[in-house]
Structure 1
């Protein structure tokens, strides 16, 4: 026992140094592991946000294309309404406007990046403002927008069969032929239905789209600042 104490008294600095080296090594490895995990989490977060940003940029382009198509539809509906109330004879140009009056400008956001984000967990987004804004856009704004656009589709579905009763057939390769022009012009319900559809088209999507675009732009602005 005496020899043990003598050995310890002589070599204790070596033992202390050895313990210190081991402790520092363990703590260093732990810190390095934490740093590496945090780095991977930041890379994942950045990739997720970049995907959402890319999807939103495509959404903006899609909305603009949809609006241009809806303008074409509304113009044709206006021309058709004016013709119904006029003495103008039926012609092939009106056939085109009948076709276009029955078109539907659909829209669907690119929700794949958001679904991927949800699979990893919204908590991966550390910025509370961005996380709330993304959730608001995809969980509130987009669903509400779809429901408003569905109102137009619903009324179009009601008008389509009714206007078809006045047509011999719908042929997208040739001019539409009307069974009885005078009867069609004298039909107040037809004019009402086309006018109502045109008014709904002015409200949905035209009236509500600026609100949706504003929310997309706000989300993109936040993402751009975060990713710069």
Structure 2
């Protein structure tokens, strides 16, 4: 059967210069779609659209990856803005939260990566720590550190050992959203992965950047779940 189609949300840059062009751009680092392809899926990019179009767009794909990027606006979880929180990415916030809601409503397999994990938590009513000190070892550079799986979770079944992961972030999950459980954490207690524990639904978020790694286990599991969904008689 055809490879499952995995939608990947995009970064949105107000101005990107390449060649003679200097224009607003929606893009994604190549590592995202390369990881989907290495895991056996086909990738399609999902640039921002009207939030009301989210369910229609989700009906055309078999799985969803919400990519990394800027801070989620604290207005979406009822918090005052910390001075260290980045500028709002209003269009992207609205689109990705709508996609996540539509994906959860339709049981579309979901993987949130870094910002995507935080957005997943917010979409389910959770909150974020707007700034953590000392977790990213080298400001401005990707750092690596171990994450420890929580036994009994989907993530632990996929990656049972403490794994070194590439990470770059200054925010983290605070109060968990509805139904979510922690499935991995760092040595300092920072939440590193969250998931819905329902075995019939594939919903997982990781705080690190698997697109910068060679480990395909998590993405392969998403692609497998998307394949199962695509081949079901009802298409759901």
Shorter-chain TM-score bucket reads under 0.3
Which structure carries more relative contact order (alpha carbon 8 Å, separation 6+)? 1
- Normalising by the residue count of structure 2, what TM-score does the alignment of the two structures yield? 0.20
Q: Identify the structure with the greater helix proportion.
A: 1
TM-score scaled by length of structure 1: 0.21
- Which has the larger strand fraction? 2
Higher Cα Rg, which structure: 1
